[in-house]
Amino acid sequence: MLDNKEITIYDIASKLNISTATVSRALKDDPVVSKKTKKKVFDLAEQMGYRSNHFARNLRSQRTETIGVIVPRLNSYFMSTVIAGIESVANQAGYNLIISQSSESTDNEKMNAKTMFNNRVDGLLVSLAYDTDDLSHFDIFHKKNIPLIFFDRVSEHVHSSNILIDNRKAAYGVTSHLISQGCRKIAHITATSDSNVYVDRLAGYTHALADHSIAADKEYIIYSDLSQEAGAAAAQHILQMKHRPDAIFVANDNCAVGCMLALKQAGIRIPGDIAFAGFNNDPVSTVVEPNLTTINYPGYEMGETAARHLINHLNGNASMHIANTILLRSELIVRASSEKRR
């Protein structure tokens, strides 16, 4: 038995012989309505299976209670963790999430942004695609005063906040750690991307070398797409180098693992011949043998922070302009892959 007829406040009002205005007020617990009336309204609404119509409400109130999320990929450990964090905060605060992925394509990102805009999200959380440099597709949000927060893959945009970790510092720490283990010929595998994430990690690596008076060698900077397969390919390249590195710092764990496995297969001992460090603290880092030294990247917390920051702003509880950039703490986790001395 289907009852497709939706109950509206008119139905409740007419049954109770009161006005829709009173019903509307009662339903939102307006203190101006008498307790008696409220109870009658609540009970009847419950009994008739009333549900409020968000669209009518949004149409009136010009708010949607919806947050848009655009990420490069949904199916990575890191990103799904971030999204779990966002969801938990948003859900608690009564906000809905609409989520889309750019698949690392700036064109998709533009379309996604437009969709979000047309859906009139109250605010937007974005992690940029690999090679997005022009941010003009986000201008419309600023024009309509819709708050925009970038996380992880961020970009300097005058009117938006950024939430990220200090990639430079983290990479500096990793590299220094490798140096402290006696390594001098340290390679770095990074992405062919201008994203802050990889640029900053490279900068941290470079600075650490310089601070320890180790000459930088261009040959030791290897560009890839950071996939596990790319790690294996990088391994082949490394095997053929004249001056093999004695340590490799990879910009993410997945790629590090691919590289490690391939080198091991070729008879290289880790960390004996080559020490290893990754980035992210992905689950694979505790599965690969030896376990991978890495940076713990607090994805869940980043999601929570981004969502909370945005919602606070929407509620007028905090000004987004004050905290233009929020840096989350990250930490070095030393595991066997880099312990040459113990």
292 binding DNA? (CB under 7 A) = no
- Give the C-alpha separation, 251 to 257, whole Å: 11
Query: Which residue of 16, 99, 233, 332 would you call a contact of a second copy, by CB under 8 A?
Result: 99
The one segment of 15-23, 186-194, 195-203, 280-288 that binds DNA by CB under 7 A: 15-23
Q: Which residues, 305 to 324, sit near a second copy by CB under 8 A?
A: none
- Using only C-alpha atoms, what is the Rg of the chain? 26
Cα separation values, 300 from 162, 168, 292, Å: 16, 21, 21
Name, in order, each residue with C-beta under 8 angstroms of 214's C-beta and a sequence gap of 6 or more: 179, 184, 186
321 binding DNA? (CB under 7 A) = no
For residue 131, give the nearest of 160, 153, 101 by alpha carbon: 153
The one segment of 17-25, 71-79, 190-198, 300-308 that binds DNA by CB under 7 A: 17-25
98 binding a second copy? (CB under 8 A) = yes
DSSP string, 127-151: ---TT----GGGHHHHHTT--EEEE
- Give the C-alpha separation, 233 to 18, whole Å: 74
Query: Which residue of 15, 42, 57, 185 would you call a contact of DNA, by CB under 7 A?
Result: 57
The one segment of 23-31, 99-107, 173-181, 271-279 that binds a second copy by CB under 8 A: 99-107
CB of 96 to DNA, least distance (A): 16
Torsion angle of the four alpha carbons 310, 126, 124, 328, in this order, in degrees rounded to the nearest 10: 0
CB of 289 to a second copy, least distance (A): 6
- Give the C-alpha separation, 132 to 107, whole Å: 9
Q: In what order do the strands lie in the sheet with 247-250?
A: 221-224, 186-191, 247-250, 275-277
The one segment of 33-41, 71-79, 166-174, 319-327 that binds DNA by CB under 7 A: 33-41
The one segment of 5-13, 165-173, 222-230, 262-270 that binds DNA by CB under 7 A: 5-13
Q: Which residues, 194 to 233, sit near a second copy by CB under 8 A?
A: 228
79 binding a second copy? (CB under 8 A) = yes
287 binding a second copy? (CB under 8 A) = yes
Tell me whether residue 49 or residue 272 sits nearer to a second copy (CB atom): 49
Q: Which residues, 138 to 177, sit near DNA by CB under 7 A?
A: none
3-state SS string for 273-284: CCEEECCECCHH
In the chain, DSSP finds a helix count (H) and a strand count (E) of 12, 12
Residue type, 275: A
- Give the C-alpha separation, 233 to 250, whole Å: 13
CB of 79 to a second copy, least distance (A): 7
Q: Which residues bind a second copy (CB under 8 A)?
A: 1-4, 49, 51-56, 58-59, 64, 66, 73-77, 79-81, 83-84, 87-88, 91, 96-101, 103, 112, 115, 117-120, 140, 143-145, 228, 254, 257, 261, 283-284, 286-289, 300
Q: Which residues bind DNA (CB under 7 A)?
A: 6, 8-10, 17-22, 24-25, 27-28, 31-34, 36-37, 50, 52-53, 56-57, 59-62
